[in-house]
């Protein structure tokens, strides 16, 4: 079982870890310019896209879960139709985002209320990067489908190529052509479309036989579309809560001052690195959970979950130790702004606890997605957001200041871990 898990997890880890590393390169490139406002601009621009794209992350998650279950019961015709429906939703969603980019931008900057200098640079970033939407959302669907088909090596190759292109273009646009946040945005747009082309080439090379199953009647099958959107509705609500928490975190940081915004943005990279790393095992959980539920093999399902949690706990400890001991050294890689680094050290112990407290939440997410137990995912996220995160912040903010944001985030992650564990017995082990 360890071999099965690692065969799926390692390619996912490699592909996933390139995402926060790219974000760290973006911050490092701009963090070594002459002002902290560039870090703030990327933070705010990135927050807007987190809100938009995480809202569509159901495309990857539900596509992965449904495809894995179809794979488990050897229904390859339905696997092909799941991808076609997901791509149609991706195209419609991207058109929606591009057409409404202006009101979305105006509303976003009104809510965030950062400094004028930061907002000006963030707007440049936003109005360029929005045109990557068709590529980004289509990649959600394709990568989710590949994972559901138990193929994690193809998404790994796609992610590595995308991020190499993106990093190279960041460096060229900023240091050769003297661009700022707009250069980083153009790098992302070009890299995303490059990734989409590569993903389609791989599909045609390895799965072109599936194209024969695509037809209008199969794509628009009412019962299957209804099932797709019912699961997606719950995943969307779950993801919306996650978006609100992280957007609120960034918005409150921006409302304080540019320095706190820069500090919190840099420290969030520690959380993102761990989350994307452990998500490699969560994606393996999606594939294997869906496969064994589709095959109605409860014994292997339980064994898989047991092994996944052993890996999660074992990996969370070294991450926490590294963050606690070497956190300040890592910050020097991201920026040479001594003031920001010194301010960050007051909060670094918060991120050191996050791996141990949050690993279960990330693993359960993958298990629940593979089981398409979306309603339970939604409920646990609503509890963690509305009953834990916001009350903790508003009650303690007058006394703890910026520390209240980090404490609320820590308890939010812990609440997800606990509530999903409690519901698992009923939603994962019994109902399937």
Which whole-number Å values give the CA distances from 1 to 280, 283, 304, 342, in the listed order?
A: 16, 15, 7, 45
Report how far residue 267's alpha carbon sits from residue 18's, in angstroms, rounded to the nearest whole number.
17
Report how far residue 33's alpha carbon sits from residue 335's, in angstroms, rounded to the nearest whole number.
9
Which whole-number Å values give the CA distances from 382 to 48, 69, 139, in the listed order?
A: 21, 26, 28
Residue with tokens 């696997």: 79
Q: Which structure tokens are listed for 53?
A: 């794209």
What is the C-alpha end-to-end distance of the chain, expressed in Å?
Answer: 20
In sequence order, the 6+-apart residues with CB closer than 8 A to the CB of 144 are 59, 60, 61, 62, 63, 64, 67, 86
At residue 74, the 3 state secondary structure works out as coil
- Whole-number pLDDT of residue 224: 63
Judged on CB neighbours under 10 Å (0-12, 13-18, 19+), 400 is middle
Residue with tokens 């993106």: 166
**DSSP element (H, E) containing 294:** helix 258-294
Residues 388, 389, 392, 393, Cα dihedral to 10°? -170
Of 242, 239, 268, the closest CA to residue 385 belongs to 242
Report how far residue 199's alpha carbon sits from residue 236's, in angstroms, rounded to the nearest whole number.
25
Helix 258-294 to helix 402-427 angle (10° resolution) is 10
Specify the pTM.
Answer: 0.72
Report how far residue 7's alpha carbon sits from residue 82's, in angstroms, rounded to the nearest whole number.
24
* Helix segments in 335-347, DSSP class H: 338-344
Judged on CB neighbours under 10 Å (0-12, 13-18, 19+), 8 is buried
Report how far residue 86's alpha carbon sits from residue 137's, in angstroms, rounded to the nearest whole number.
9
Domain ranges of the chain: 2-427
Are the C-beta atoms of residues 110 and 254 closer than 8 Å to each other? Answer: no
- Whole-number pLDDT of residue 221: 64
Are the C-beta atoms of residues 40 and 261 closer than 8 Å to each other? Answer: yes
Alpha carbon 52 to chain centroid, angstroms: 12
Which whole-number Å values give the CA distances from 311 to 135, 305, 408, in the listed order?
A: 33, 10, 26
Report how far residue 51's alpha carbon sits from residue 240's, in angstroms, rounded to the nearest whole number.
8
Other Cβ atoms closer than 10 A to 301? 23
Are the C-beta atoms of residues 367 and 424 closer than 8 Å to each other? Answer: yes
Report how far residue 253's alpha carbon sits from residue 235's, in angstroms, rounded to the nearest whole number.
27
How long, in residues, is the chain? 432
- Whole-number pLDDT of residue 314: 94
Alpha carbon 383 to chain centroid, angstroms: 20
In sequence order, the 6+-apart residues with CB closer than 8 A to the CB of 161 are 194, 195, 198
pLDDT tens, the chain, 432 aa long: 767 777 777 777 776 666 656 666 666 666 666 666 777 777 777 777 777 777 677 777 778 777 877 877 777 788 888 888 888 889 989 999 999 999 988 888 877 766 777 788 888 888 998 999 999 999 989 988 998 888 888 988 998 899 889 889 988 988 888 887 788 889 989 999 999 999 999 999 988 888 777 776 666 666 666 666 666 778 788 888 988 898 899 889 888 888 888 889 889 888 888 988 898 888 888 888 877 887 777 888 888 888 999 999 999 999 999 999 998 888 887 777 788 888 888 899 999 999 999 999 999 988 888 887 778 889 999 999 999 999 999 999 999 999 999 999 999 999 999 999 988 877 776 544
Report how far residue 228's alpha carbon sits from residue 66's, in angstroms, rounded to the nearest whole number.
8
Report how far residue 127's alpha carbon sits from residue 236's, in angstroms, rounded to the nearest whole number.
24
């Amino acid at each position: 079982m360890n071999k099965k898990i690692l065969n799926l997890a390692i390619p996912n880890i490699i592909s996933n870890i390139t995402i926060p590393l790219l974000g760290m390169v973006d911050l490092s490139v701009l963090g070594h310019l002459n002002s902290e406002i560039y870090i703030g601009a990327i933070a705010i621009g990135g927050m807007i896209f987190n809100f938009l794209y995480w809202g569509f992350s159901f495309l990857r998650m539900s596509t992965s879960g449904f495809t894995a279950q179809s794979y488990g019961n050897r229904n390859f015709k339905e696997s092909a139709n799941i991808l076609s429906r997901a791509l149609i939703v991706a195209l419609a969603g991207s058109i929606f985002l591009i057409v409404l980019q202006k009101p979305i931008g105006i509303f976003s900057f009104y809510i965030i209320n950062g400094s004028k200098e930061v907002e000006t640079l963030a707007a440049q970033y936003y109005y360029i990067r929005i045109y990557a939407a068709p590529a980004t959302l289509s990649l959600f669907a394709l990568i989710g489908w590949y994972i559901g088909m138990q193929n994690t090596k193809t998404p790994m190759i796609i992610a590595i190529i995308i991020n190499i292109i993106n990093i190279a273009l960041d460096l060229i646009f900023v240091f050769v052509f003297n661009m700022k946040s707009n250069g980083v945005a153009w790098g992302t747009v070009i890299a995303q479309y490059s990734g989409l082309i590569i993903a389609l080439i791989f599909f045609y090379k390895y799965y072109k036989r599936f194209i024969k199953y695509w037809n209008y009647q199969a794509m628009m099958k009412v019962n299957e579309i209804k099932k797709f959107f019912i699961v997606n509705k719950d995943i969307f609500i779950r993801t919306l809560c996650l978006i609100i928490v992280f957007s609120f975190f960034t918005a409150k940081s921006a409302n304080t001052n540019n320095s706190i915004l820069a500090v919190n943005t840099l420290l969030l990279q520690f959380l993102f690195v761990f989350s994307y790393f452990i998500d490699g095992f969560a994606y393996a959980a999606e594939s294997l959970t869906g496969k064994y539920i589709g095959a109605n093999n409860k014994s292997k399902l339980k064994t898989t979950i047991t092994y996944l949690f052993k890996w999660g706990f074992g990996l969370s400890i070294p991450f926490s130790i590294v963050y606690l001991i070497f956190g300040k050294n890592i910050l020097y890689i991201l920026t040479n702004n001594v003031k920001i680094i010194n301010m960050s050290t007051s909060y670094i112990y918060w991120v050191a606890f996050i791996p141990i407290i949050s690993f279960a939440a990330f693993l359960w997410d993958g298990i629940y997605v593979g089981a398409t137990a979306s309603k339970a995912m939604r409920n646990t996220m609503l509890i963690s957001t509305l009953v834990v995160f916001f009350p903790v912040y508003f009650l303690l903010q007058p006394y703890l200041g910026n520390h209240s944001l980090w404490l609320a985030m820590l308890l939010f992650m812990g609440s997800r871990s606990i509530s999903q564990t409690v519901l698992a017995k009923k939603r994962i082990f019994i109902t399937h």
